[in-house]
Amino acid sequence: MAPYQNAKELSKLTLGKTTEYCSEYNPNLLQAVPRSLNRNDLLLAKNSLPFIGEDVWYGYELSWLNDKGKPVVAVAEFRFDCTSPNLVESKSFKLYLNSFNQSKFSTFNDVEETLTKDLSVTAEVQAKVKLFNVEQCPALEIKKANQNITCIDEEDITIENYQYQAELLEQAQKNSPSEIIEDNVVSHLLKSNCLITNQPDWASVYISYKGAAIDHSILLKYLISFRQHNEFHEQCVERIFCDLQSYCQLEELTVFARYTRRGGLDINPFRSTHISSAPQTRTLRQ
């Protein structure tokens, strides 16, 4: 359990509670969660974060009415800088998007501007919003994985404990030579649980680093240790980033998790020492 799970800031959320669906535009449905909750736990100072990056969301259930009352549908891309004071709580985000269903907007641009304004207020940072026609969304084209990425899921390991264990990484570079390498790996076995509802969250996590080699078997054991861990998507990725930085001697590090969608939304947190924007790529599960 995260030590901040019972924080008063979380008690006000609609997440985990019975709610009514509103189909008329209502920006007041959006709810914020302070990023400081888990960052305090990770001992991260507000003005000296060890990473840059962003949270990229895709919305697949966005619809509104044009001036003649005809429904319009679109796929939406939302980007929030990781330095924003707040993250947008996902259930409230879903309820907010549903509130567009019976509301009239003249153009795609009107909807983009409305979404940008409301989400920027909630996150307290300038949100970036793009809408795509459902038949042409280049950002979501399934692309062949980079040949330089190694999937570590076939490592022959035995797992007996499914509780979060950062200390597993203490041995990750024990037998590594002093040679500095660049390594790009992916695991599709990351699973964590929602901080509030305990619902499972599934993700593919991409890790790229420059430094002494990290043992793939130990890294996989560490990622699997999140299997019964309760945190929001963004918090899990920041925890992975900070653990790797703490236990491993790395010159560069990037952690990018692509979570599967729930309620028409997927969340894809991206954290890096040196890259600010997440790539536009996805796998079959997204």
Q: Could you give the residue numbers annotated as active site?
A: 194, 201
Give which of 184, 170, 179 is closest to 218, Cα–Cα. 170
Contact in structure between 237 and 50 (CB atoms under 8 Å): no
Cα gap 162→192, rounded to integer Å: 10
Phi, psi of 195 (to 5 degrees): -60, -35
User: To which residue do tokens 């994985």 refer?
Assistant: 145
Phi, psi of 94 (to 5 degrees): -60, -45
Q: Tell me, what amino acid is at 71?
A: P
Q: How long, in residues, is the chain?
A: 286
DSSP code at position 35: T
State the distance between the two ends of the chain, measured CA to CA, in whole angstroms: 27
DSSP code at position 134: T
Contact in structure between 214 and 179 (CB atoms under 8 Å): no
Question: Sign of dihedral through CA atoms 218, 223, 224, 226?
Answer: positive
Cα gap 56→77, rounded to integer Å: 7
Cα gap 41→201, rounded to integer Å: 21
Q: Where are the alpha helices (H) located in the chain, listed in sequence order? A: 8-11, 36-41, 90-98, 108-123, 216-224, 233-247
